[in-house]
Structure formats: C-alpha cells, structure tokens
C-alpha cells in the first residue's frame, strides 16, 4: 500500500482540485482530507457520511469562582497569557494544566476539550476519511494523524493499493503530521514569486522528514519566466517536474458544478492531470 500526500506550501495553488481528479482516476484507493481546519475536498467528492466521531483532544482550564481567592498565582505563572481577571480564555489555553497544579485552593480543574469531528464516508469514488477541526481549536496535527491512521486501517481491511491525501498549506504542525512516513509528496506550485519561495520551504520540510518529493507547476502560463526559475531550482535539487498544467477556467467551472475537473469536460487541464496521475503511478 502506497501513500501519496499533496502539498504546496502556499495556499490556493490547486491541491484540492488535483486530488479530486486523482479520486476519479485512481483505482483501489482511500481518500483523506488532511486540511482539517479549512477542508474543501468534500465539496467536490460529496461524501455520504457513514460514521461521525467526536474528536476529544487536550484539556482546557476552568476556574471555579466560588473557590478562587484571586491570589493571582495562576495568571503570573501561565506562559500562554491565557488567564486574565481570574478567567480563562479558552482560545489561548494550551491545556498544560500547570495552573490547576499550583492553585493553592484547588479552584482550577481541567476539562476535556471537544476539538472537532472526524468522519468515515462513502463517495462515488471510494471511501474517504475527513475531519472538521472546531472553530479556533488547536491540535490539528493530532487530528491529521488520526484521519491518516483511519485511512490506513481502511486500506488494510479492504486491500486497497493507495492512500491519496489532500494536505494543508504551510510547513507547520498539520503539514508535518500529514507528511511523516508517506511514500511520496507531490508539491503543487505556481509560477509566482510567492509560489517559488514557498515551494523551497515545503521541499525542505519533505527532505527533513525523508519523504521523496516531486513537483507539479499549476497555471504555468501565468508567467513563463518564473517557470524557468522553478525548472532550474528543481534541476539543482534533483526534483522531477511531473506536470505543467495550464490556467483554465474549466477548473473553477468544475468546482462550481461540484465535479473533478477531469470529469467535467475534456480540456488541456484534464489531459495534463491524466498524465500527472500516470507519472505518479510510475514514481510512487
């Protein structure tokens, strides 16, 4: 069983549109949406939720005002500035429980935190595991690890060949969590200076965690000078460029129709994504 994770560094380069098309092209796979705090893959794949599970993760401090003597020790010691006027701001609290351990009158208790939901679903393309992190919650890395682990179990049980995961933007905790141990990372970039800058950082993260990387250039015709920059960067780093996908309104039109672009209509974009999937099969 092989696991492909699609990343980008910079947001909005086309990860989800490409993953949705892979869903239509790949055989014997499970799909995972690892972008748990702004998930979009479900808008195209329209999953039928089979299992809705609560994601309880971490704790949050709560001060019992009847017991509190307002001594101020918790406020003084909290490194996350989560306590002010003897009240806890749950969006700042990191659940370390330091305050509850040092409160001289035991006025602080730690409450379990409902941090989101995760789902096992059926789509017309096969099973899908996805999640929704609660608004302003943390621990997205743990939720990503959980959806990946569920996808692995499904792949094992159903004898599937591929796990295809739509990764989050950035290079921090959810990215690291979606990346570690994957068979191959596909980094989707665009020929903008921002895209190139962010490509370099996400490639470095993949290397840091020893995951093989290949690159695709989306909307390559926006700026062909920048495409040459990307090409020379990839050459110097020994990275294979697996596709050059043109800008095409068909991508947005397909999204509005709720279809993978390869199923929407024959277009240069859908032909390139077809070729890209074939390259991925060869490389993974």
Three-class SS of residue 75?
helix
- Binding segment for other proteins (CB under 8 A), chosen from 8-16, 121-129, 159-167, 235-243, is 8-16
Report the distance separating Cα 262 and Cα 151, nearest Å: 24
Indicate whether 38 belongs to the interface with other proteins (CB under 8 A).
Answer: yes
CB of 75 closer than 8 Å to CB of 83: yes
Helix (H) or strand (E) holding 22: helix 15-25
For residue 91, the minimal CB distance to other proteins (Å) is: 5
> 79 vs 282, which CB is nearer to other proteins?
79
Query: Exposed, middle or buried: residue 145 (CB in 10 Å: 0-12, 13-18, 19+)?
Result: middle
> 180 vs 279, which CB is nearer to other proteins?
180
CB of 164 closer than 8 Å to CB of 26: yes
Indicate whether 57 belongs to the interface with other proteins (CB under 8 A).
Answer: no
Phi-psi category of 95—alpha, beta or left, where left has phi over 0 and alpha has psi -120 to 50? left
Provide CB contacts within 8 A for 256, sequence distance 6+.
none
Report the distance separating Cα 271 and Cα 276, nearest Å: 9
Residue recorded with tokens 């794949």:
45
Partners of 185 in the β-ladder: 5, 213
Query: Which of the residues 177 through 206 are near other proteins (CB under 8 A)?
Result: 177, 190-194, 197-198, 201-202, 204-205
For residue 135, the minimal CB distance to other proteins (Å) is: 5
Choosing from 12, 72, 181, 268, the residue that interacts with other proteins (CB under 8 A) is 12
> 92 vs 274, which CB is nearer to other proteins?
92
Write each residue from 204 to 223 as x if it is in contact with other proteins (CB under 8 A), else as -, in one continuous string: xx--xx------------xx
> 24 vs 179, which CB is nearer to other proteins?
179
> 17 vs 272, which CB is nearer to other proteins?
17
For residue 243, the minimal CB distance to other proteins (Å) is: 18
CB of 114 closer than 8 Å to CB of 134: yes
Q: What is the 3-state secondary structure (H, E, C) of 207-266?
A: HHCCCCEEEEEECHHHCHHHHHHHHHHHHHHCCCEEEEECCCCHHHHHHHHCCCHHHHCC
For residue 258, the minimal CB distance to other proteins (Å) is: 7
Query: Which of the residues 100 through 129 are near other proteins (CB under 8 A)?
Result: 101-102
Choosing from 51, 53, 69, 91, the residue that interacts with other proteins (CB under 8 A) is 91
Residue recorded with tokens 């929704």:
132
Indicate whether 136 belongs to the interface with other proteins (CB under 8 A).
Answer: yes
Indicate whether 249 belongs to the interface with other proteins (CB under 8 A).
Answer: yes
Q: Which residues bind other proteins (CB under 8 A)?
A: 8-13, 16, 35-40, 43, 58-59, 77, 79-80, 91-92, 94-98, 101-102, 133, 135-138, 140-141, 168-177, 190-194, 197-198, 201-202, 204-205, 208-209, 222-223, 226, 249, 252, 255-256, 258
């Amino acid at each position: 069983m092989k696991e492909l994770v699609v990343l980008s560094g910079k947001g909005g380069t086309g990860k989800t549109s490409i993953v949705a098309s892979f869903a239509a092209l790949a055989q014997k796979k499970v799909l995972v949406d690892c972008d748990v705090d702004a998930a979009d893959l479900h808008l195209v794949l329209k999953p039928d939720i089979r299992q809705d599970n609560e994601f309880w993760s971490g704790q949050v401090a709560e001060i019992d005002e009847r017991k509190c003597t307002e001594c101020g020790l918790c406020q003084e010691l909290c490194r996350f500035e989560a306590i002010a006027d003897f009240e806890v701001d749950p969006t700042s609290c990191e659940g370390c429980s330091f305050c509850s351990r040092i409160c001289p009158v035991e006025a602080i208790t730690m409450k379990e935190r409902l941090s989101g939901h995760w789902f096992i679903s059926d789509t017309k393309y096969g099973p899908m595991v996805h999640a929704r992190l609660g608004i302003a919650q943390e621990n997205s890395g743990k939720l990503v690890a959980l959806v990946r682990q569920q996808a692995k179990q499904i792949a094992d049980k159903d004898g599937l060949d591929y796990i295809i995961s739509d990764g989050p933007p950035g290079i921090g905790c959810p990215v690291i969590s979606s990346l570690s141990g994957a068979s191959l990372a596909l980094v989707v970039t665009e020929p903008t200076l921002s895209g190139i800058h962010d490509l370099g950082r996400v490639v470095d993260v993949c290397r840091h965690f020893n995951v093989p990387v290949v690159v695709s250039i989306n909307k390559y015709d926006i700026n062909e000078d920048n495409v040459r920059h990307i090409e020379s960067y990839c050459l110097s780093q020994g990275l294979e460029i697996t596709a050059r996908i043109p800008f095409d309104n068909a991508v947005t039109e397909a999204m509005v129709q709720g279809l993978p672009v390869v199923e929407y209509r024959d277009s240069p974009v859908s032909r390139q994504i077809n070729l890209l999937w074939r390259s991925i099969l060869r490389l993974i």
